[in-house]
Amino acid sequence: GTNHMGHFYLTSKLMPTILRTPGRPRIVNVTSVAHEWGHIDFENVNSDGMLGYPAAGWLTYGRTKLANIYFTYELHRRLREFGGDGGHVDVNCVHPGIVDTEIPRSLSVNFYPLLKSIGGLITPEEGARGQIDVATGPKYEGISGKYIAEQSGPNNPGGVKGSFVIAKSSRWSYDADVAARLWERSKVMTGAAWDSIGETK
């Protein structure tokens, strides 16, 4: 709910204002490289039970971050399909890097102290650069429907901390059928209305 459903609902409420905004308004969703661990379990969307957040917190987190990417890609598609004012709204998602925060504090496994000891974490300031640049920077003017990733971390040895590029998300994240299904399930669970982009209840 916190990582996906709330974002989905809030964006739906803001969309009429976004569509009226002149220029090229931008929507930026924060995802994570942890999306590569995730899949959407439509039989247990809230990850309830023993195999949910308490026992498998990182997997649950990965599911929510994959949901952020599905939402980004599907919203981009629907805005372009809607046309009109929707055609000038850009929506992207950003992996900010493995940032030195307290995000694992309630998880059963916390490998951040080890990562920190070997220099594997980046500062909050370095992690924030991506969101700020995608939201306001000229480099991303007119760019939409993309996954932008921080370039250090285990998947990119030697990458420069705090640098961001357009990257490929996991192969699962490009499943348009799952993205559309998650969109519809999210509408039901949140009561979000997207009539501003031509959708009915």
Please calculate the CA angle 133-139-143 and round it to the nearest 5 degrees: 95
Structure tokens at 178: 């799952």
Confirm whether 61 is a catalytic residue: yes
- 110 vs 89: CA distance, rounded Å: 38
Contact 154, 102 (CB under 8 A): no
- 50 vs 71: CA distance, rounded Å: 27
Contact 199, 87 (CB under 8 A): no
Q: Residue 197 in 3-state DSSP? A: helix
Task: Dump the DSSP string for 132-181.
Answer: HHHHH-GGGTT--S-EEEES-STTSTTPPTT-EEEE---GGGG-HHHHHH
> Per the residue annotation, which of 9, 53, 61, 112 is the catalytic one?
61
Contact 82, 198 (CB under 8 A): yes
Contact 40, 67 (CB under 8 A): yes
Catalytic machinery residues: 61
